[in-house]
């Protein structure tokens, strides 16, 4: 213990006597560990951490399997009871249904995302309310089911986090519910942060909406999913043989949500990128320690001559490194906490919507950071410590450290670390450049219509209030007329969706043209579809390429008219005129007559800006309750948002607005995911560039200090300052050139992992490579310029006297 105490005290004195070295080493560690820890927190929450439920491995979502082996989420009340009776397989079967509610009585009406749940669902998940009580089985009984549990965000936003809200009444869908509990902010079920929970009706209590359910099942203890599925299949086979269920009987178990493979891959790529940052930090720290070790050769040699064993010297040097690790790791946790907060706030929903875990710096992430810091310190400090401990008194007391027989080898190691840092930095810069080029290319793509001066408002009319198509049609007609009469509005229309989000999608389509048969069957093709009013194309400014757009007669639904985009017309008709042709999208579909061809619109998928099919249908009288209002303004559209909101509420003051904003702002959100990738990769590359530049500067500065006598002699013999600068820059340029060559070769291999994240940019893009090479060369030579300038200020007389 005394030896350890002396080692720690000596290490603290040594580090405090060299504040510059200590600060640079700590910052290097903090940046590498902090960035890696922050990204690990995302990977941990999305991919590694168990779901925040009791015994999550026993929880599954159960799908109803029909006779044709089609898995659907809805099951009847009778089927739910049958499943609950399978006690040898299921410990519990709990119904749930997503549902939206209109919350009124506050400052403005709002649509809240809710969930109807069985009385045992929260206890099956093992989640307790923050305040009050959960929904219980008795709450589902008729007459006792008007109770609600609020989510913490809604509780804070609508009720000011008042704990006295328990027992208070609230209006949902114009029905009074009693608040009985508050769920914690961290509670997520499946892929949503639901705002409210109400009891699921166990009978068809509402004539307009018969009771059907989704199901969450908990398997019996000790039963695996494979074993449970085997037993389920055996029961299904027996019931099928008995013809007990003509429509089939079966259950398919699925885990509670899986991350999109594409997004999962992108997340792992980002983690790989931040690992490169950590490797750069390790190389830089190792270089710093090598430089320090070389400067301390005489000290270490003297201590060895006085009896210190090699193990004792290595332990002393590693103690200094571990103290650096403690300080740098603590600073790294501060960096990580700030980065995690930013990531949690700005990470795209495409990466998080299937996760029930919040992105936090919890104990798991903290333990990872601690282990990472120790591993980094040991990996960076072990080689320098071993090399420094080999110094002998005879070697160190010869004409100077520079003449040590081991000095050239140490110099090669230091230069190798610098080359590795530059190479890894170039790989990061190339990756960042490719993603930035992808993002820039996306944002520059013509949206295909006049996107400026457009405002959209999404509304969902509650069925309990607007039960008939006629009532919904009347409401939207009134709102559109009011918008058209509003000063500053040049035109208004309605549609079921508007770009960039589109109205809906179709997939696995079989394109058949009347008289020509099947012309295309592409299972990978996803086609946006939208039902629109006749004025839709004119208000949005979508150009008409051929034929006509819709008329009032088309809205009757009797003409079977559709409008297609030009990519679809060009691909399927191959230069022929599609106007008047009949087309259908499956053998069981009706025929539609193509009456018009319009320009392509950039919508639905940010990674597929070109060559995407799109089909438009006339918006008939039987329109649904969820619609999008589109208004073209004559001035700044942002200035019209408040006026449009007032006109919507002038028709119905209790109608919630799901979303309202300019189309340009929605396109900005449309690019959130590629923007996130590009910015994060650019941040990693920037951190790596700073660390590599510091490493190059440190090696050259130390090398110049070692050559003080040489430069003094050269200048005494007549060498000019320009000659000295060229000598130093030549050394720096050699290191930079080697790093650029190694990094370019590595980039060609590593950027294969980015291929799926790139759009219209090849991974060997010459513009990106040229820009990165030039930028890194400038930064590298700039780092070499400072030691070069310092070398020219050497006084030959002082240099020769010092030696």
Q: Report pLDDT for 433.
A: 92
Average pLDDT (629-645) is 94
Q: Report pLDDT for 105.
A: 77
Q: Name the phi and psi angles at 357, rounded to 5.
A: -100, 140
Q: How far apart are the first and last CA of the chain?
A: 42
Q: According to DSSP H, which parts of 636-720 are helical?
A: 641-651, 663-670, 672-706, 708-716
Is residue 526 in a domain? yes
CA dihedral for 735, 739, 740, 742, sign (positive or negative): positive
- Average the pLDDT over each of 196-210, 521-535, 605-619 and give the range with the smallest value: 196-210
Taking only the tens place, the pLDDT of each residue in 39-59 is 988 888 888 887 788 888 889
Only one residue has tokens 């006779």, namely 67
- Asked whether residue 583 falls in the same domain as residue 596, the answer is yes
Taking only the tens place, the pLDDT of each residue in 671-699 is 888 888 899 899 898 888 888 888 777 77
Pick the more confident residue, 768 or 413: 768
Average pLDDT (486-491) is 94
- Asked whether residue 657 falls in the same domain as residue 678, the answer is no
Tokens of 388: 């420094």
- Asked whether residue 134 falls in the same domain as residue 174, the answer is yes
- Asked whether residue 210 falls in the same domain as residue 281, the answer is no
- Asked whether residue 349 falls in the same domain as residue 425, the answer is yes
Taking only the tens place, the pLDDT of each residue in 533-591 is 999 999 999 999 999 999 988 987 778 899 999 999 999 999 899 999 999 998 888 99
Within 10 A of 761 (CB to CB), how many other CB atoms are there? Answer: 22
Tokens of 477: 């007609």
3 state DSSP class of 219: strand
Calculate the alpha carbon distances from 183 to 129, 151, 195 in Å: 4, 5, 9
Average pLDDT (209-216) is 74
Tokens of 7: 């080692």
Within 10 A of 460 (CB to CB), how many other CB atoms are there? Answer: 17
Is residue 342 in a domain? yes
Is residue 225 in a domain? yes
- Asked whether residue 393 falls in the same domain as residue 519, the answer is no
- Average the pLDDT over each of 273-287, 360-374, 705-719 and give the range with the smallest value: 705-719
Element holding 513 (H helix, E strand): strand 504-513
Calculate the alpha carbon distances from 307 to 310, 395, 668 in Å: 9, 17, 68
- Asked whether residue 298 falls in the same domain as residue 370, the answer is yes
- Average the pLDDT over each of 87-101, 141-155, 181-195 and give the range with the smallest value: 181-195
CA dihedral for 83, 85, 86, 88, sign (positive or negative): positive
Q: Which of 618, 647, 670 is the last residue of a domain?
A: 670
Tell me how many domains the chain contains.
3
DSSP assignment of 586-646 equals STTSPPEEEEEEE-----S-TT--SS---EEEE--SS--SEEEEEEEESS-GGGGHHHHHH
Q: Report pLDDT for 177.
A: 93
Question: Distance between CA atoms of 602 and 610, rounded to whole angstroms?
Answer: 7
Strand partners, 189: 192
Give the distance, in angstroms, between the CA of residue 409 and the centroid of all CA atoms in the same chain: 45
Give the distance, in angstroms, between the CA of residue 215 and the centroid of all CA atoms in the same chain: 29
Calculate the alpha carbon distances from 698 to 290, 389, 606 in Å: 11, 22, 44
Q: Which of 653, 670, 687 is the last residue of a domain?
A: 670
- Rounded to a whole number of angstroms, the CA Rg of the chain reads 34
pLDDT interval class at 403 (50, 70, 90): very low
The 8 Å CB, 24+ separation contacts for 481-485 are 482/647, 482/650, 482/651, 483/629, 483/631, 483/644, 483/647
CA dihedral for 360, 365, 370, 374, sign (positive or negative): negative
Q: Is the pLDDT assigned to residue 208 strictly greater than 50?
A: no
Average pLDDT (313-327) is 76
Q: Kindly report the average pLDDT of the chain as a whole number.
A: 82
Domain enclosing residue 752, as ranges: 2-45+261-441+673-802
- Average the pLDDT over each of 296-300, 601-605, 629-633, 634-638 and give the range with the smallest value: 296-300
Q: Is the pLDDT assigned to residue 429 strictly greater than 50?
A: yes
Q: Name the phi and psi angles at 96, rounded to 5.
A: -155, 155
CA dihedral for 641, 645, 650, 651, sign (positive or negative): positive
Question: Distance between CA atoms of 315 and 94, rounded to whole angstroms?
Answer: 60
Q: Report pLDDT for 628.
A: 93
Is residue 446 in a domain? no
Is residue 114 in a domain? yes
Q: Which of 203, 229, 254 is the last residue of a domain?
A: 254
Is residue 50 in a domain? no
Tokens of 200: 């699921």
Calculate the alpha carbon distances from 736 to 102, 419, 782 in Å: 63, 7, 11
- Asked whether residue 434 falls in the same domain as residue 347, the answer is yes
Question: Distance between CA atoms of 109 and 238, rounded to whole angstroms?
Answer: 52
Q: Report pLDDT for 584.
A: 93
Whole-model pTM: value is: 0.79
Give yes or no for a contact between 282 and 357, defined as CB atoms under 8 angstroms apart: no
Cα 448-449-454 angle, rounded to 5 deg: 140
Average pLDDT (343-367) is 80
Q: Is the pLDDT assigned to residue 135 strictly greater than 50?
A: yes
3 state DSSP class of 216: strand
Is residue 448 in a domain? no
Average pLDDT (338-367) is 81
Q: How many residues does the chain have?
A: 803
pLDDT interval class at 467 (50, 70, 90): confident
- Tell me how far apart the 2 most distant CA atoms of the chain are, in Å: 107
3 state DSSP class of 714: helix
Taking only the tens place, the pLDDT of each residue in 162-179 is 888 999 999 998 889 999
pLDDT interval class at 206 (50, 70, 90): very low
- Asked whether residue 290 falls in the same domain as residue 433, the answer is yes
β 517-532/615-618 pair status: parallel
- Asked whether residue 637 falls in the same domain as residue 693, the answer is no
Strand partners, 90: 219
Average pLDDT (492-519) is 88
CA nearest 501: which of 310, 636, 314, 630? 630
Taking only the tens place, the pLDDT of each residue in 243-279 is 666 666 778 888 876 666 777 888 888 888 888 888 8
Q: Is the pLDDT assigned to residue 181 strictly greater than 90?
A: yes
Question: Distance between CA atoms of 669 and 674, rounded to whole angstroms?
Answer: 10
Give yes or no for a contact between 407 and 297, defined as CB atoms under 8 angstroms apart: no
Question: Distance between CA atoms of 332 and 32, rounded to whole angstroms?
Answer: 8
Average pLDDT (293-317) is 63
SS3 content of the chain, % helix, strand, coil (to 5): 50, 20, 30
Tokens of 368: 């990872």
Element holding 65 (H helix, E strand): strand 59-65
Q: Residues near 255 by Cβ (< 8 Å), separated by ≥ 6?
A: 60, 61
Question: Distance between CA atoms of 304 and 102, rounded to whole angstroms?
Answer: 80
- Average the pLDDT over each of 9-13, 369-373, 583-587, 783-787 and give the range with the smallest value: 9-13
Q: Report pLDDT for 401.
A: 44
Pick the more confident residue, 767 or 407: 767
Q: Report pLDDT for 689.
A: 87
Calculate the alpha carbon distances from 493 to 100, 480, 559 in Å: 25, 6, 21
- Asked whether residue 276 falls in the same domain as residue 212, the answer is no
Percentage of residues in the chain having pLDDT higher than 90: 26
Tokens of 745: 């070769």
- Average the pLDDT over each of 128-137, 339-348, 733-742 and give the range with the smallest value: 339-348
Average pLDDT (699-721) is 69
Taking only the tens place, the pLDDT of each residue in 334-348 is 999 999 888 888 888
Question: Distance between CA atoms of 86 and 83, rounded to whole angstroms?
Answer: 5
- Asked whether residue 421 falls in the same domain as residue 474, the answer is no
Is residue 51 in a domain? no
Within 10 A of 275 (CB to CB), how many other CB atoms are there? Answer: 17
Q: Is the pLDDT assigned to residue 280 strictly greater than 60?
A: yes
**For residue 668, is the peptide bond before it cis, meaning its omega torsion is within 30 degrees of 0?**
no
């Amino acid at each position: 213990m005394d030896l350890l105490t002396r080692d720690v005290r000596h290490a603290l004195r040594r580090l405090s006597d060299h504040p510059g070295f200590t600060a640079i080493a700590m910052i290097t560690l903090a940046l590498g560990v902090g960035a890696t820890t922050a990204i690990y927190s995302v990977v941990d929450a999305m991919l590694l951490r168990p779901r925040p439920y009791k015994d999550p491995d026993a929880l599954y979502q159960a799908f109803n399997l029909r006779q044709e082996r089609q898995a659907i989420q809805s099951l009847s009340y009778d089927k739910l009871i049958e499943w609950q009776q399978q006690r040898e397989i299921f410990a519990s079967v709990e119904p749930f249904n997503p549902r939206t509610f209109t919350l009124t009585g506050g400052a403005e009406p709002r649509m809240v995302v809710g969930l109807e749940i069985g009385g045992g669902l929260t206890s099956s998940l093992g989640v307790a309310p923050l305040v009050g009580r959960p929904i219980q089985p008795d709450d589902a009984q008729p007459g006792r089911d008007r109770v609600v549990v609020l989510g913490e965000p809604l509780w804070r936003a609508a009720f000011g986090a008042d704990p006295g809200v328990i027992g208070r009444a609230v209006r949902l869908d114009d029905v009074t519910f009693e608040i009985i509990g508050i769920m914690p902010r961290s509670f997520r079920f499946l892929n949503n942060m639901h705002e409210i929970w109400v009891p699921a009706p166990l009978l068809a209590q509402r004539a307009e909406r018969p009771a059907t359910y989704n199901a969450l099942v908990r398997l019996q203890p000790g039963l695996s999913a494979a074993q449970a599925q085997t037993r389920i299949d055996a029961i299904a086979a027996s019931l099928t043989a008995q013809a007990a269920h003509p429509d089939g009987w079966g259950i398919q178990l699925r885990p509670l949500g899986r991350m999109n493979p594409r997004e999962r891959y992108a997340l792992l790529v980002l983690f790989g990128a931040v690992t490169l940052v950590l490797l750069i930090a390790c190389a830089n720290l190792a270089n710093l320690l090598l430089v320090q070790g070389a400067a301390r050769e005489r000290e270490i040699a003297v201590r060895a001559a006085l009896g210190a064993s090699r193990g004792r010297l290595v332990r002393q040097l590693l103690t200094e490194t571990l103290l650096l690790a403690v300080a740098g790791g603590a600073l790294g946790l501060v960096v990580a906490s700030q980065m995690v907060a930013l990531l949690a706030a700005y990470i795209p929903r495409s990466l998080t919507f299937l996760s029930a875990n919040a992105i936090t710096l919890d104990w798991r992430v903290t333990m990872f950071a601690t282990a990472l810091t120790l591993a980094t310190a040991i990996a960076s400090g072990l080689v320098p410590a071993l090399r420094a401990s080999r110094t002998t008194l005879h070697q160190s007391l010869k004409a100077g450290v520079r003449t040590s027989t081991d000095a050239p080898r140490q110099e090669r190691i230091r230069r190798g670390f610098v080359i590795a840092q530059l190479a890894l930095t170039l790989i990061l810069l190339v990756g960042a450049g490719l993603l930035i080029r992808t993002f820039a290319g996306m944002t520059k793509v013509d949206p295909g219509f006049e996107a400026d001066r457009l405002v959209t408002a999404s509304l969902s009319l509650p069925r309990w209030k607007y039960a008939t198509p006629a009532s919904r049609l009347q409401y939207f007609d009134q709102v559109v007329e009011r918008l058209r009469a509003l000063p500053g509005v040049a035109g208004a229309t309605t549609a079921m969706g508007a770009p960039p989000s589109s109205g809906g999608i179709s997939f696995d389509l079989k394109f058949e043209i009347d008289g020509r048969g099947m012309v295309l069957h592409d299972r990978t093709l996803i086609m946006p579809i939208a039902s629109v009013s006749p004025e839709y194309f004119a208000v949005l400014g979508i150009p008409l390429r051929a034929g006509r757009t819709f008329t009032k007669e088309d809205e009757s639904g009797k003409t079977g008219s559709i409008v297609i985009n030009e990519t679809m017309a060009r691909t399927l008709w191959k230069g022929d005129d599609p106007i008047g042709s009949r087309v259908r999208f499956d053998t069981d579909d009706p025929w539609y007559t193509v009456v018009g061809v319009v320009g392509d619109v950039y919508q639905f998928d940010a990674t597929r800006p070109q060559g995407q099919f799109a089909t438009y249908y006339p918006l008939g009288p039987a329109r649904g309750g969820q619609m999008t209002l589109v208004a073209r303004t004559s001035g700044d559209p942002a200035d019209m948002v408040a006026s449009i909101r007032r006109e919507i509420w002038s028709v119905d003051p209790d109608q919630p607005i799901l979303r309202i904003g300019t189309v340009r702002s929605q396109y900005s959100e449309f690019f959130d995911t590629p923007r996130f990738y590009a910015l994060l990769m650019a941040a990693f590359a920037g951190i790596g560039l700073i660390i590599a530049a510091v490493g190059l500067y440190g090696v050259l500065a130390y090398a110049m200090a070692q050559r003080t006598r040489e430069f003094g002699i050269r200048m005494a013999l007549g060498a000019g300052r320009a000659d000295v600068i060229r000598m130093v820059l030549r050394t720096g340029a050699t290191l930079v050139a080697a790093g650029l060559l190694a990094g370019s070769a590595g980039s060609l291999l590593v950027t294969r992992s980015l291929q799926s994240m790139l759009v219209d940019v090849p991974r060997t893009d010459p513009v990106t490579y040229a820009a990165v090479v030039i930028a890194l060369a400038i930064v590298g030579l700039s780092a070499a310029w400072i030691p070069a300038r310092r070398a020219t200020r050497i006084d030959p007389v002082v240099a020769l006297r010092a030696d």
